[in-house]
Amino acid sequence: MAPHPSASTAFEVVALEEPREMLWRTPTSTWAWRLRPLPDGGTRLVTRLRTAYEGPLSDRLLAVVLMELGDFPMMRRMLRGIRERAQAEHRRLHPPPVDAHRLALIRGVRTAAWASIEACVGYLLWSGLTGRSDRRAAVAATVVAGECLVFAADGFRCPFTGLAEAAGATSGSVTDIYLPRWFAANLPAIHLPLLVAIAVLHRRARVRRRRPVARRAP
């Protein structure tokens, strides 16, 4: 939890009920983990972190911002990662029956959605290079932004992935689409520089459009 653990930063396990509960503690915080059985035979993992803010006012204000605002998405992402690994291990030990028709439908729909979004990305790149930051570009940007929001809201995991795994696909982020595995697995890394370039190009195009055109006097 810290580059150089000390008595004030290292977490100490002070309570453990294997495999249901664990409580960590530092002099200023406690971190509890609990597994709760669900009626359907599943398990819910619940975690709670409590912190007492100490030190100068500036340090406490910074800690409040980091813990109360920044800790939530980090904790949510961490819990989703634990859930995905646990579910992947369960599917490995108890693989669901493969529904070939349903899986093909999911992959077909997901591939069509991916192709439409890629068309929007391509149009945004072309319109940015040619200085055509028009309404069509705004529509394409809305589509791409919506897809990014859905992706982020689902913990940076496509919602189709869970559907594909439930239909019997192997675990992974590229089981819901008809693409080469190496290519699909690197889609976020491929798109990030493209989106940055698109934003820069369209910003330049809009600045040029607002710039007054010098006219010669008759």
Regarding whether 195 and 134 lie in a shared domain, the answer is yes
Q: Which residues contact 167 (CB under 8 A, 6 or more apart)?
A: 96, 98, 99, 102, 103, 106
Residue 190 domain-assigned (yes or no): yes
Regarding whether 129 and 73 lie in a shared domain, the answer is no
Among 26, 27, 2, 28, CA closest to 13: 26
Q: Say how many domains are in the chain.
A: 2
Last residue of a domain, one of 43, 77, 93: 93
Regarding whether 109 and 78 lie in a shared domain, the answer is no
Regarding whether 204 and 165 lie in a shared domain, the answer is yes
Regarding whether 168 and 132 lie in a shared domain, the answer is yes
**Domain range for 19:** 12-93
Last residue of a domain, one of 26, 61, 93: 93
Last residue of a domain, one of 42, 69, 93: 93
Per-residue pLDDT of the chain (218 residues; tens, 9 = 90+): 677 878 777 888 999 998 899 999 888 889 999 999 999 888 999 999 888 877 777 777 877 777 777 788 888 888 888 988 888 888 788 887 888 899 899 989 989 999 999 999 999 999 988 888 888 888 999 999 998 888 887 777 788 888 888 888 876 666 788 888 788 778 878 888 988 999 898 888 887 777 665 555 55
Regarding whether 191 and 122 lie in a shared domain, the answer is yes
Residue 215 domain-assigned (yes or no): no
Task: Give the N- to C-terminal CA distance of the chain in Å, as an integer.
Answer: 73
Residue 123 domain-assigned (yes or no): yes
Residue 6 domain-assigned (yes or no): no
Q: Specify the pLDDT at position 112.
A: 92
Measured distance CA(79)–CA(71) in Å, rounded: 12
Regarding whether 50 and 127 lie in a shared domain, the answer is no
Residue 29 domain-assigned (yes or no): yes
Q: Specify the pLDDT at position 17.
A: 93
Q: Specify the pLDDT at position 70.
A: 77
Whether 21 and 34 have beta carbons less than 8 Å apart is answered as yes
Regarding whether 202 and 111 lie in a shared domain, the answer is yes
Angle at CA of residue 148, ends 144 and 150, nearest 5°:
115
Containing H/E element for 12? strand 12-17
Measured distance CA(204)–CA(199) in Å, rounded: 9
Q: Specify the pLDDT at position 84.
A: 82
